[in-house]
């Protein structure tokens, strides 16, 4: 434990130095013209030197916590396809060897050219462990987070220009002052994003709900008012899931785990049982909502069209999904937010490390991934008092380590990535995965039929030591007058 604390004490000193020097945002490029061609807020601590940094990267020993901030190895040429599909998947992907640059892979999801790789857009750093990816509402910007960027003292959020959907461009990256460990991303109607940062600047609790402007500059790290700050200091605040209702002006964040506790040596992963309900007008925390013994509330999403603005939240340790009623009042506390168990998934979901979800736009179907259970579950939630399971819980599905799940805009397919986290020797969190993008057919009754995959590991073995696709954004350009970005 001493080495862990020492490493993060050094990191804390580094972050404090940055904070005292100047604000850290995308605007740093304007203050420092040297960085304008790189797109990052700070230069690599070790610059790229031909003949020097390549052997350094290949032979650097693993450190207890902080990792050597070497620049990425040069990438070999990769043969791209010139197809122009109507359906596109953007996969936020880590290099398998953690030495080559992390990248955004642009892939065809059309039937006739499925799996064709159209573009590879690299970022200037490696070893970030690319995590969640989100799109602006107009489809012109993507932002992806780095789960482990902090360990190399690198920027943690990466922005891409998708004005030309077939040729994304990396524009810039940035980091927050008070928080780190980027997780869920939600686009704001006027441009910009709300993003959950699960940990503090040094990976402990509390994290923050970060807000950006349309250019991707960080403008707030909520909460900022005294009572709400005392709230997150008083009880673990490790926001992972994020649900936002802009019409009702509320947001829900779900607390998952304290990031530092997944690193060795550890007394065990510190999991939370809570969600926070935010008022979007003031960005104050209205209440803390508890799922008893939830053991990590990884994900939360509002049910589209629900008259009470109900949300579904996954309780990972319990292997359950709960329903949250944000406008009902708890009779014991008088606070907003009431919970009740919606569905218990049984043995395959118990004591899992990750359960992630997606809900159809009509609010009738919900899909859940059990990372350690190697299973994707389907529920009919059209009647919340009579939930029906549509998959066979005893089926052995052809998938390993499923995590990120997204329903295609036309509701014909489910896109699931077979990879969660592999943090290496420094961590206790290394989940098996098949490193594939699974394009699963949704049956007429909402059930699933496994069909096609993109095998990232085999495609990139020679050039990048494999690849780890964690998350995806789907563009459907079938109707040019009505493009869909999700």
Q: What is the pLDDT of residues 413-424, one digit of tens each?
A: 999 999 999 988
Contact 300, 241 (CB under 8 A): yes
Is pLDDT above 90 for 4?
Answer: no
Higher pLDDT among residues 453 and 425, named by residue: 453
Is pLDDT above 60 for 7?
Answer: no
Going by pLDDT thresholds of 50, 70 and 90, the confidence category of residue 37 is: low
Is pLDDT above 80 for 242?
Answer: yes
What three-state secondary structure class fits 259? helix
**Closest to 437 measured CA to CA, from 21, 151, 116, 195:** 116
What three-state secondary structure class fits 377? strand
Over range 302-325, report the average pLDDT: 98
**Closest to 218 measured CA to CA, from 165, 266, 179:** 179
Q: How far is it, in rounded angstroms, from Cα 370 to Cα 357?
A: 10
Taking only the tens place, the pLDDT of each residue in 457-477 is 999 998 999 999 999 999 999
Instruction: Determine the pLDDT at residue 53.
Output: 43
Question: Please, is 350 exposed, middle or buried when counting C-beta atoms within 10 Å of its C-beta (0-12, 13-18, 19+)?
Answer: middle
| Both tokens assigned to 295 | 């053991």
Torsions phi, psi for 93 (to 5 deg) = -130, 140
Instruction: Determine the pLDDT at residue 27.
Output: 38
| Ranges 68-82, 109-123, 168-182: which has the least confidence | 68-82
Contact 262, 150 (CB under 8 A): no
Give the chain's domains with CATH numbers.
Answer: 2-485 (2.130.10.10)
| Ranges 12-21, 61-70, 75-84, 91-100: which has the least confidence | 12-21
Instruction: Determine the pLDDT at residue 35.
Output: 45
- The chain-wide mean pLDDT, for the chain, equals 89
Contact 414, 405 (CB under 8 A): yes
Is pLDDT above 70 for 382?
Answer: yes
| Ranges 48-52, 208-212, 254-258, 298-302: which has the least confidence | 48-52
**Closest to 125 measured CA to CA, from 61, 70, 188, 166:** 70
Is pLDDT above 70 for 46?
Answer: no
| Both tokens assigned to 404 | 């990120």
């Amino acid at each position: 434990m001493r080495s862990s604390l020492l490493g993060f004490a050094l990191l804390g000193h580094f972050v404090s130095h940055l904070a005292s020097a100047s604000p850290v945002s995308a605007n740093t490029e304007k203050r420092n013209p040297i960085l304008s061609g790189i797109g990052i807020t700070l230069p690599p601590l070790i610059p790229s030197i031909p003949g020097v940094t390549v052997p350094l990267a290949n032979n650097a020993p693993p450190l207890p916590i902080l990792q050597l901030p070497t620049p990425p190895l040069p990438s070999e040429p990769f043969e791209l396809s010139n197809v122009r599909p109507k359906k596109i998947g953007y996969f936020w992907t880590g290099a398998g060897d953690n030495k080559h640059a992390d990248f955004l892979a642009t892939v065809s999801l059309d039937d006739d050219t499925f799996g064709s790789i159209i573009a590879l857009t690299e970022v200037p750093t490696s070893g970030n462990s690319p995590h969640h990816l989100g799109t602006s509402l107009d489809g012109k910007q993507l932002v992806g987070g780095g789960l482990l960027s902090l360990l190399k003292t690198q920027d943690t959020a990466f922005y891409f220009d998708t004005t030309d959907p077939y040729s994304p461009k990396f524009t810039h990256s940035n980091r927050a002052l008070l928080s780190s460990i980027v997780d869920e991303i939600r686009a704001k109607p006027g441009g910009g994003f709300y993003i959950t940062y699960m940990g503090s600047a040094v990976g402990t609790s509390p994290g923050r709900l970060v807000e950006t402007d349309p250019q991707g500059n960080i403008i707030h790290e909520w909460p900022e008012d005294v009572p709400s700050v005392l709230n997150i200091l008083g009880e673990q605040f490790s926001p992972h899931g994020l649900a936002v209702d802009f019409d009702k002006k509320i947001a829900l964040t779900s607390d998952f785990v304290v990031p530092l506790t997944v690193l060795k040596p550890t007394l065990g992963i510190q999991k939370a049982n809570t969600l926070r309900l935010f008022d979007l007008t003031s960005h104050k925390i209205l209440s803390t909502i508890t799922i008893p013994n939830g053991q990590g509330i990884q994900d939360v999403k509002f049910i589209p069209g629900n008259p009470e603005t109900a949300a579904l939240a996954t309780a990972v340790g319990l292997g359950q999904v709960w329903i949250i009623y944000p406008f009902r009042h708890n009779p014991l506390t008088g606070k907003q937010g009431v919970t009740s168990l919606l569905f218990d998934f049984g043995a395959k979901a118990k004591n899992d490390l990750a359960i992630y979800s997606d809900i159809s736009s009509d609010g009738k179907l919900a899909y859940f991934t059990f990372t350690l259970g190697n299973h994707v579950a389907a529920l009919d939630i059209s009647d919340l008092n009579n939930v029906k399971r549509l998959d066979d819980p005893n089926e052995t599905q052809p998938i390993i380590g499923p995590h990120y799940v997204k329903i295609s805009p036309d509701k014909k397919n489910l896109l699931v990535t077979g990879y969660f986290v592999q943090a290496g020797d420094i961590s206790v969190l290394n989940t098996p995965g098949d490193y594939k993008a699974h394009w699963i057919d949704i049956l007429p009754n909402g059930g699933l039929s496994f069909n096609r995959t993109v095998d990232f590991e085999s495609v990139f073995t020679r050039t990048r030591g494999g690849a780890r696709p964690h998350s995806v954004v789907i563009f459907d350009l079938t109707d040019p007058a009505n493009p869909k970005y999700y």
